[in-house]
Chains A and B, each alone.
Chain A
Amino acid sequence: MTPVAAKMKRGDSTDGGAASALGSRLSRIDGPAKIKGQARYGLEHHPANMAYAVIVQSTIPSGHIRAIDSKPAEAAPGVLLVITPDNVMPLKPITTWTGAPSSDKPYLALTREINFTGQHVAAVIAETFEQASEAAGLLRIDYEEKESIPSYDDPKSGAGNPLDAMAVAWGDAGRAFAEAPVRIEQTYRTPREYNVPIEPHGLVAEWQGDMLTVWEPSQWVNFMIHNYAEWYGLPDEKVRLISPYVGGGFGSKAFALGHGAIATMAAKMLNRPVKLAVTRPQTFTAFGGRPATRQTLSLGATKEGNLLSIVQKGANETSVDGVWVEPLASVTALMYATPNLSARQNIVPVNTVTPCALRAPGENPSAWGIECAIDELSYEVGIDPVAIRLLNYAEEDPHAKKPWSTRRLREAYEEGAKAFGWAKRNPKPRSMRDGHHLIGWGVAAGTYPVRRTAGEALVRIFADGRAEVASSGIDMGQGTYTILAQTAAEAIGMPVEQIEVKLGDSALPGAPVAGGSQLANLMTGAVHKAATAARDELIGLAINDPKSPFRELQANTLSIADGVISPPRGGESMSIAELLRRLGRDKIEVQRDTLPENANSAADKLATYNTITRMRSPTDGDYSLHAWCVHFIEVRVDEDFGTVRVSRVVSALDSGRLYNPKLAESQWKGGIIMGIGQALLEEGLVDPRQGRVINNNLGDYLIATNADIPDIEVISVGVPDFHASALGGKAVGELGIVGVAPAIANAVYHATGKRIRELPITLEKLLGD
């Protein structure tokens, strides 16, 4: 007898339910405003009497400023103020995002010490942008240049500083590798990469007495106001940051940066609003992108392809005056079962701006290494690249030694391979052609952890039948507005069109960073809790209030659907609006947080929303929590010219439950195309003499255009994971990019027989021998 397959519940609209229910493909509710050009971004707020600031950046990589002559600039038409290291306002040190004090010394946004080309050295504020730009060119800066280290490829940089605390080891990896019958040892490299959101950075700052208002795109409103408040010695309530729309961030808009200090101090010094828009070229040094990374991977295996050992020695660039760690072992020590592993990493200080987060920091370059290396091993032992991955499948977290909460990676391989047609692949490199083009099929897996921080939400139900959800959490395109409306609609039992969501304003209840792919999970949890409490309060009133018509029914329960309250066994229904009117209530208002009950003081909230110290690690608890994906990618290579075009992508992803598949799929695809750009195009080119980013514009720093992107099929293989989050979702936003670049490099190898171990895979790397 054949067992009848039970219909799998995915927690999405395939289970049934309203067209707008959580899990349905509701179109984004902020779409019409954006498409009409009516969405107002931070820099578009122009208060009366606003002045314009323009930043001047260093032209040397290292040394100091002997003197700045700002007189000609000050005398130029319209100039109101020139800020240099000589008159910069010292600001107070802050508590950093890790909860540690930044320094015991004042923060100086401009210094005479120069640590990298493109460091801010002065700012000119004038009546108009043109006047400020003109005067900025009149500054005479006398530099004394010192020897510099433009990149970690410069021998002067040395090996860097070991990060002993980041080292991972089990077994005896060195010995196991030395004794392994099959050994692979290669170095994999990624260049500097930049976030390049299409909305450039900048802000408008206005002081009213000791109250500071900042209109600035932000991925982390609470941390940024806390930072601004600490700089000026103010309580958080004295700073308001407004960021209803964010034109992309990808990790770069979570912090108050040097230009934020300059604009706010200029506004204070002039006592008038100041706008500072960082120019596109300046964005390449006003904040850091992903650092350059290199990692040597040594894989030892049996002749059958079973891993015996993984040894990783990695390094990433950092700045001479700051520390950025791009954790290179995050996937290496997670993806495969190996009895022995050792991973060590150095950071190498060079004369650059301090690097920062760019979509999947750590996981992205980590997967680049291990997913290329395992592919190399598959050819070495003569096993299919998918088969070798399944052969070494980790049944539990090999590092934390805990069970996975959910890991539908096998299903991802299976469904992805089927949709792609992997079974038809000729395993031999250079064996597949279409006319003049070599065809290659490659595969690689990816993963991103589930990060968990508590959140908070305010829900109001109004007498006119509308409801409102409010949080300082932000929407930079992921779809926060939409899924929170869906969550509240479902929890209360109201039509989604009746829900208004307010986000991105520090005056609203707090939220932690929109980073680490955590916001959707934590905010749906908080909104669900608050909205459920609001619904319960409404039902309590309906049952108990003397003015309620339901009171006479003496029902101990009522249901709410589509904005209408109904008794359990028939009888007269009534809209929420009508009930509230009858009760004489103008609204029901409920605020709830998801902090632990024994740790939800004001100080706990501050630590939760303003730092990452309360973010739970993916292995905190009984399970190891991660999202997973597999990318199957086809490339076409014209060997005469080294041109590579990605022609097909099928990705199967396990992000747990999807709150809105339309939004989640778009996030995945957005990650995948960024991965295609990373694989083939993106590369910060550093001038070896001055450490200058040569291609600091969108004409030369190439991100993928429409024509570079093929049809992308994404398949959700996830199931609700309630260990991961209250409503069953895992990570989405940063998952899609992880593993794309190695899948492309593996496909290029399959097409050409050439193994490219340094990103990006540009024309000339494929030409010649």
Chain B
Amino acid sequence: MTARNSIRFLRRGEVVELTAVAPIRTVLDYLRLEEGARGTKEGCCEGDCGACTVALGSLKDGRLVYEPVNACILLLGQIDGKELVTVDDLSVSGKLHPIQQALVDHHGSQCGFCTPGFVMSLFPLYQSGAVANRKMVVDQLAGNLCRCTGYRPIVEAALAACTGKPDDAWSEARLEIAQTLAGFDDGTDLFIGDDEEFFAAPAFDEALARLTEKHPDAVILSGATDVGLWITKQLRPIRKIIFLGRMRSLREIVETIDSVRIGAAVTYAEAEPSFAAIDPDLAELLRRIGSKQVRATGTVGGNIANGSPIGDTPPALIALGAGLELRKGRQTRALPIEDFFIAYGKQDRSPGEVVAGVSIPMLKRGEAFRCYKITKRFDQDISSVLGAFKFGIAQGRITEARIAYGGMAATPKRALKTETAVKSLSLDDPAGWAAAADRLAEDFQPIDDHRASAAYRSETARNLLIKALTEMAGEATRNTRITGMREFAHAG
């Protein structure tokens, strides 16, 4: 089968087909420089501020879903098969969109520069048909920085506009849009460019194998929430990109009675229900990763594959005992996820090898899980320390323990000595817990950096372990969660 040599997306009700697409062209540059649609703003060019937020419509299990994304670090090739909606499109024949009208009425804009991003973060919430509550809105807007308004008027506007019944040009055209997007799904491999410079988005295993064998130097692109910064911030000369987002086999979530397998190209947002099914803590952790924009394109596989010492999912997956599946050409291999992280910046992955998926065992009877993310800023901040704990408990004693931390070493790492010390401890033995927690000093020698001092990391790691054990010993409770202000005081 020959590959398609163009990308197609839906824009303002029309199909746009582009054959000449530079591999590193961002959606933001496409909009502002090629379309001349300058409503979408550039505030930081690294996915931190959200001023460039646009909405992408796509079919998920046949249903039309809109998600906010940061256009500054999203590559144009990634929107193949989707609908692109920007702030310039919303008011139809001079009439403000309900979200826009609510923002005007509630004084949701001051200097106005962040405003288009807020509008487009709220657009998907509006389309979802959800009756918005404060918690939802706060979560929806976590990726949008505003330096003027104090946020509150924006939240009020969202609550006023998102009342559960979308009534706009998009809700009217839902069926039509869904049909167009379904028509895009031709199942072909996509390749734009030549052997020296290309954007490839294979759909099939065979094509991916061929590409990675032929171009082991190509950048494997998943959500671009990190690779995007290689382009816009580090100015790396990337000429070959293999995008996994159209790979059918890597987009699957397979749930069985005792495990969940998440394909490497599954986004955080898509993985959230499955993570929640394993444990609510895991879903809450996912909710604290980046922002809605980041989770709409970022993937669990990407978070693992780039091997950051402060990636948030790896410690949790290590504690859960997850297994990683890697694929090179036609060969696959499996390994425990903790073995993937060798040293700082070094993973057990050879050129051309691709993380294919992660299998996470479900918690068994008598097993419990906790994980906690500690940050300076509640939302959209990199962890100072992240602790994840899985305990097997029988007759009031810890029978099994898997403990892993992020931010405590050059890689996400298990606390093996501490695990041994915790095993067989009674849940009525706080003195024993404290002694076990002392072993953390043997497992980790954290460093000082601007996110936290070594002393803070050590003490926090210890307190997290004690907290987890305290929660094991008490009744099943969730009221000691480490939460943001709104969640515990002003939600609902």
Binding site for B on A (CB under 8 A): 27-28, 30-41, 44, 133-134, 137, 196-200, 245-248, 250, 279-281, 435-436, 476-479, 636, 638, 640-643, 645-648, 662-663, 666-667, 669-670, 672-674, 680-681, 685, 694-695, 697-700, 702-712, 762-764, 767-768
Contacts and interface: CB of A to CB of B under 8 A. Distances in A.
Interface string B355-378: 000000000000000000010111
A700 B114 contact: no
Interface stretch (B33-41, B339-347, B437-445): B33-41
B51 to A, nearest CB: 6
A752 to B, nearest CB: 15
Contacts of A709: 150-152, 485
A182 to B, nearest CB: 35
B291 to A, nearest CB: 9
B435 interface: no
Given A247-B113, A663-B107, A698-B44, A670 B378 contact: no
Interface in B439-467: 450, 452-453, 455-456, 459-460, 463-464, 466-467
A199 B113 contact: yes
A708 B112 contact: no
Interface residues of B, number: 80
Given A699-B44, A708-B485, 9 more contacts: A33-B112, A35-B108, A199-B113, A476-B111, A645-B378, A672-B150, A694-B450, A707-B142, A768-B455
Interface string B138-151: 10011011111111
A37 B39 contact: yes
- Among the interface residues A245, A476, A763, which one has the most CB atoms of the partner chain B within 10 A? A763
Contact of A710 (B45, B116, B147, B489): B489
A52 to B, nearest CB: 11
Interface stretch (B10-18, B87-95, B398-406, B420-428): B87-95
A686 to B, nearest CB: 10
A37 B116 contact: yes
A244 B463 CA distance: 53
Given A702-B381, A707-B378, A279 B45 contact: yes
A763 B44 contact: no
A575 B241 CA distance: 67
Contact of B151 (A642, A667, A673): A673
A763 B147 contact: no
B88 A35 contact: no
Contacts of B299: none
A357 to B, nearest CB: 15
Contact of A699 (B46, B484, B485, B486): B46
B59 to A, nearest CB: 27
Contacts of B415: none
B418 interface: no
A671 B484 CA distance: 21
Contact of B87 (A37, A662, A663, A680): A37
Interface in B148-186: 148-155
Contact of A698 (B43, B141, B154, B463): B43
Contact of B376 (A39, A279, A681, A698): A681
Given A248-B147, A280-B46, A681-B377, A711 B152 contact: yes
Contacts of A41: 41, 113
A707 B138 contact: yes
A711 B491 CA distance: 11
A32 B112 CA distance: 10
B47 to A, nearest CB: 8
Contacts of B111: 197-199, 245-248, 476-477
Interface of B: 38-49, 51, 86-88, 90-91, 96, 100, 103-105, 107-116, 119, 138, 141-142, 144-155, 233, 235, 374, 376-382, 384, 450, 452-453, 455-456, 459-460, 463-464, 466-467, 479-480, 482, 484-487, 489-490
Given A34-B112, A694-B450, A710-B489, A280 B43 contact: yes
A647 B489 CA distance: 7
A638 B115 contact: no
A200 B144 CA distance: 16
B46 A27 contact: no
Contacts of A764: 452-453, 455-456
A711 B90 contact: no
A662 B108 CA distance: 11
Contacts of A44: 38
Contacts of B149: 666, 669-670
- Among the interface residues A41, A694, A707, A712, which one has the most CB atoms of the partner chain B within 10 A? A707
B96 A32 contact: yes
Contacts of B378: 645, 705, 707-708
B294 to A, nearest CB: 11
Contacts of B485: 636, 645-647, 707-710
A705 B293 CA distance: 14
A458 B51 CA distance: 35
Contacts of A672: 150
B456 A707 contact: no
Nearest to B90: A36
Given A37-B39, A137-B235, A768-B459, A32 B46 contact: no
B46 A199 contact: no
Given A36-B88, A767-B459, A708 B115 contact: no
A28 B455 contact: no
Contacts of A680: 376
Contact of B113 (A197, A279, A479): A197
Nearest to B452: A764
Given A28-B109, A698-B44, A710-B486, A703 B150 contact: no
B40 A37 contact: yes
Nearest to A478: B110
A43 to B, nearest CB: 9
A480 to B, nearest CB: 11
Contact of A708 (B235, B379, B490): B379
Contacts of A36: 39, 87-88, 90-91, 96, 100
Nearest to B113: A247
A607 B459 CA distance: 59
Nearest to A660: B107
Contacts of A648: 489
Closest 7 A-B residue pairs measured CB to CB?
A: A37-B39, A247-B113, A34-B112, A477-B110, A669-B150, A477-B111, A764-B456
A37 B86 contact: yes
B147 A703 contact: yes
Contact of B456 (A198, A245, A674, A763): A763
B103 A35 contact: yes
22 contacts: A27-B107, A28-B110, A31-B109, A32-B100, A34-B109, A35-B96, A35-B108, A35-B119, A38-B39, A134-B235, A197-B113, A197-B147, A247-B41, A248-B111, A280-B46, A477-B110, A477-B148, A645-B485, A698-B48, A707-B485, A709-B151, A767-B456
A711 B47 CA distance: 27
Contacts of B489: 636, 647-648, 710
B147 A196 contact: yes
- Among the interface residues B40, B43, B110, B154, which one has the most CB atoms of the partner chain A within 10 A? B110
- Among the interface residues B87, B116, B150, B467, which one has the most CB atoms of the partner chain A within 10 A? B150
B48 A705 contact: no
B43 A198 contact: yes
